[in-house]
Chains A and B, each alone.
Chain A
Amino acid sequence: MLVGVVAALALLAPILPIRDPLALDLGHRLAAPGAHHLLGTDQAGRDVLSRIIWGSRESLQIALSAVLLGCLFGVTLGLIAGYKNGSILEMVITRCFDVLFSIPLLVLAIALLGILGARPVEILGFTLTDKIKLVGLIGLSFTPALGRIAYASALVEAKADYVRAKKAQGAGWIELVFVEIFPNAVPSVIVQATLFVGVAIIVEASLSFVGLGVQPPTPSWGTMLADARNYIFSGEWWVAVFPGLAICATVVGFNLLGDALRDLLDPRGGAKSTFV
C-alpha cells in the first residue's frame, strides 16, 4: 500500500502543476512556507512546490530511461554471456563488464561530457541533447551491474534441465535465452533495477549539482539542491529540505515497488515451507 501511494505520487506528479515553476517572483524571494507558497520560494522567488513537481518529471524521466537503457544492454548481454558459458564470447562480455564497472562514474561523466560538449550535438542525424547524453551515461554505468546479475542467473538457469530439454527438442539459442532463461532472471534484475532508479535520481542530482547534468533554469531535484546549498544553514531550510525529502521518498518508494513487483511476478507466490 505504501508502495502504491509513494509510487503513484511520484508517477502522477507530472499532471498539470499549480504554478509556473519558472516564474520569478523577486519580490517574494526566499519566502518561508505559507499559505501563498505551500513550500516556500527559492532564491529567485520561484515556488518550491511547483518546482518539485516539475522537477519530478525531469528526475524520473532521466532515472527511468537510464535504468531501462542499462537493463536493455546489460541484461541482454548478461544473459547471452551466461548462456554461452565457456565460450570466448562470454569472456569478452564479462571483461567488458569488468572494465566498465571499474571506471568511476564521475570520471566517465567528465570524460564523455567533455568530449561531447555541454550543448546539443548532432551525430548521424540524431540530436543528442543534454538529457539524452545524461541518460546514456547513467545507463551505461548501470549496464555492468545489471548485466552481472542477469549473467549470474543465466549461468545457473542455462544448465537446468528444462533448458536442456527444450534444446533437445530443437529450440534455437534465441528462443532459449529469451523465452526460457529470461523470465527466471527477471526477479533478481528487477530488485536491482528498482534500487538503481533510486541511485539514478541521486546520480542525476549529483551531476546536476556539479553542473554536468540538467542545466538551469529547468528544475530538477538535483539542481534545486545545488542552488539551495547556500541556504541550508542560513535559515531558509525549505529550499533544500523539500527537494531532499522528495528524493528520499521516491527512492524508498521505488525500492518497495521493486520488492512487490518481484513477489507478484513469481508464480510460486513467495517462499514455500515444506512439512514432514
Chain B
Amino acid sequence: MSAGMTIFEAENVSKVFPVGQSVLRRLWSGPRGAKAVDSVTLDVREGEILGIIGESGSGKTTFGFLLANLMPITDGLIRYRARPLTEMTRTERAQFRRKVQMVFQDSSSALNPRRPVGKILRDSLRLGGTPARERDAAVAKLLTNVGLSPEHGRRYPHELSGGQRQRVGIARALAMKPEVIVADEPVSALDVSLQGQIINLLMRLQAELDLTIVLISHDIAVVRHVCHRVAVMYGGRLVEFGETSQVVEQPRHDYTKRLIAAVPRGLAGRKQAAEVSLAGAGDSG
C-alpha cells in the first residue's frame, strides 16, 4: 500500500463549541461548551485514502472541518507538511486553501440554489487562479472529468439528481487543483446502487491526480472497501486507528466491536427466535 510521507499531523486536537453564550461573555471569559472533538491525535499520509468513521455526534465532520482549516481549533495542533496551521502566514494560508479542499455532505445545500452549476465552477476556477480566458474550457473539462456533460453547466442544482450534485461538489473541489480532498459523507444520501459510482469516481480521481483523500463516513462497509487506514471516532474521541483490515478484522476497542457487530449481514445475520429478547436494550438505543 502507498505509504507516502506524512502530510497532516493532528496532535491532541480539541474543538469546543461555545453554547448559548453572548458575545460579551465569550469575550470576557473564553468559550465554554460542548467538546465536539476531544484530544484527537492522528496523521494522514500522502497518497492514501484515510477513512474517519463514526456515528452522529462523534465529531468526525467537525474534525474534517478542522483539518481543512474551516474552523479554528480550540486546543492542540494541526500541522500541514510540518507547518502548524495557526502559524501560517497569509500567503501560506492562501496556498493551503488551494491545496486542501472539502466536498460537503448535503449536496442540496452545498451548492448555491440560485446559481447555475457552470457559474459555481467558474467562480471556483477564478478563486483557484485559473486565468479568465481558460475558464470556459476548464469548466467543460471539470464536468466531463466527474462524469457529467458540459451541457450540465447550464443547469441549476435542483435540476440535477443527488448523485449529479455530488459530482458537481467534487468538481468544485477539483477546480482548485488540490492535493488533499476531505470528503464529508459523500454518499450517505444516495441510493446503494449509485453509491459505488461516486466512490469509484473518487478512487479514479485519486489515482489519476495523485490525491490524498480523507473520507468521512458512518458506513464502515464502504470505508472497508476503499480506505487504506481508518480512524474510528466516538463522542469526540479517537478510539481506534490503524490499517483498515486490522481494524475491521481484529478490532480492539469495545465501540469498534459493537459497530462492526451492528452492521446488517443479510442472511448470514439471521437470528434464531430464541436469541431475541423482547423490547431490545434499554435507553441508549
Report A271 CB to chain B, min CB distance, Å. Answer: 12
Interchain CA distance A184-B97 in the complex, whole Å: 26
A170 proximity list for chain B (CB < 8 A):
94, 97-98, 127-128
Which residues of chain B have C-beta atoms less than 8 A from A90's C-beta? Answer: 23
Q: Are B110 and A162 in contact (CB under 8 A)?
A: yes
| A179 surroundings in chain B (CB, below 8 A) | 123
Interface SS, A side: helix
A168 vs B112: C-alpha distance in the bound complex, in angstroms?
A: 14
Instruction: Tell me, yes or no, whether A229 is within 8 Å of chain B by CB.
Output: no
Q: Is A273 an interface residue (CB 8 A)?
A: no
Residue in contact with B158 in the complex, picked from A87, A161, A169, A267, CB distance below 8 Å: A267
Is B123 a contact partner of A166 (Cβ separation < 8 A)? yes
Q: Is the CB of A267 within 8 A of B23?
A: no
Per-position 1/0 for B154-167, Cβ under 8 A of A:
00101000000000
Question: At the interface with chain A, which of B1-9, B72-80, B101-109, B136-144?
Answer: B101-109
- A 146-181 binary contact with B (CB < 8 Å = 1; else 0): 000000000000001111111111110000000110
Shortest CB distance B176–A (Å) = 6
A169 touches B109 (CB 8 A): no
Report how far A162 CA is from B169 CA in the complex, Å.
9
Cα distance A179–B123 when bound, in Å?
10
Known contacts: A164-B104, A165-B102, A267-B156. The answer to whether A180 contacts B70 by CB under 8 A is no
Smallest CB-CB separation from B184: which chain A residue?
Answer: A161
Contact status B123-A161, CB under 8 Å: no
- Inter-chain CA distance A86–B124, complex, in Å, is 27
A90 to B176, CA, bound (A): 32
Name the interface residues of A121-161: CB closer than 8 Å to any CB of B.
Answer: 160-161
Set of chain B residues within 8 Å of A160, measured between Cβ atoms: 109
Asked if B102 and A162 make an inter-chain contact with CB atoms under 8 angstroms apart, the answer reads no
Q: How far is the CA of A169 from the CA of B126 in the complex (A)?
A: 10
Cβ of B52 within 8 Å of any chain A Cβ, yes or no, is no
Nearest chain A residue, comparing its CB with the CB of B125: A169
* B172 interface residue (CB < 8 Å to A): yes
Q: Do residues B127 and A165 form an inter-chain contact, with CB atoms below 8 A?
A: no
Interface residues of B in 80-123 (CB under 8 A from A): 94, 97-98, 101-102, 104-106, 109-115, 120, 123
Number of contacts between A and B (CB, 8 Å)?
Answer: 67
The complex places the Cα of A164 from the Cα of B102 at a distance, in Å, of 10
A116 sits at the interface (CB 8 A): no
The verdict on A268 contacting chain B, using a C-beta distance below 8 Å, is yes
Chain B residue nearest in CB terms to A163? B112
Instruction: Given A164-B104, A168-B101, check contact A184 B127 (CB 8 Å).
Output: no
Given the known interface contacts A168-B102, A169-B97, the answer about A162 and B111 at a Cβ–Cβ threshold of 8 Å is yes
Determine how close the nearest CB of chain A comes to the CB of B144; give it in whole angstroms.
21
Least distance between B134 CB and chain A CB atoms (Å): 17
Q: How far in angstroms is the closest Cβ of chain B from A159?
A: 9
Tell me which residues across on chain A come within 8 A of B104, comparing CB atoms.
Answer: 161, 164-165
Which residues from chain A contact B124 at a C-beta distance below 8 Å? 166, 169
The CB with the most chain B CB atoms within 10 A, among A164, A166, A169, A267, is that of A169
Q: What residues of chain A lie closer than 8 Å to B23, measured between beta carbons?
A: 86-88, 90-91
> Do residues A166 and B127 form an inter-chain contact, with CB atoms below 8 A?
yes
C-alpha gap A86/B23 in the complex (Å): 6
B98 touches A165 (CB 8 A): no
In the complex, A87 Cα to B172 Cα: how many Å? Answer: 30
Which residues does chain A contribute within 8 Å of B156, judged by CB atoms? 267-268
Contacts A86-B23, A161-B104, A268-B158 given; indicate if A168 touches B114 (C-beta within 8 A).
no
Residues of A within 8 A of B53 (CB): none
B10 CB to nearest A CB, Å: 18
Q: B109 near A162 (CB under 8 angstroms)?
A: yes
B68 beta carbon closer than 8 Å to chain A = yes
Q: A187-216 toward B: CB 8 Å interface, digit per residue (1/0)?
A: 000000000000000000000000000000
B16 to chain A, nearest CB (A): 14
- Residues in B with CB closer than 8 Å to A162 are 109-112, 120
Contact A165–B114 (Cβ < 8 Å): no
A160 to chain B, nearest CB (A): 5
Q: Which A residues are within 8 Å of any B CB, using their own CB?
A: 86-88, 90-91, 160-171, 179-180, 183-184, 267-268, 272
17 A-B pairs in the complex with CB atoms less than 8 angstroms apart: A161-B106, A161-B109, A161-B110, A162-B120, A163-B112, A164-B70, A165-B169, A166-B127, A167-B70, A169-B97, A169-B101, A170-B127, A170-B128, A180-B115, A183-B112, A267-B113, A267-B114
- Supplied contacts A87-B23, A165-B172, 11 more A-B pairs, CB within 8 Å: A88-B23, A169-B98, A169-B101, A169-B128, A169-B172, A170-B97, A170-B127, A183-B114, A184-B112, A267-B158, A268-B158
8 cross-chain pairs, A with B, having the tightest CB-CB distances, nearest first: A161-B110, A161-B104, A183-B114, A169-B127, A162-B112, A267-B156, A170-B127, A161-B109
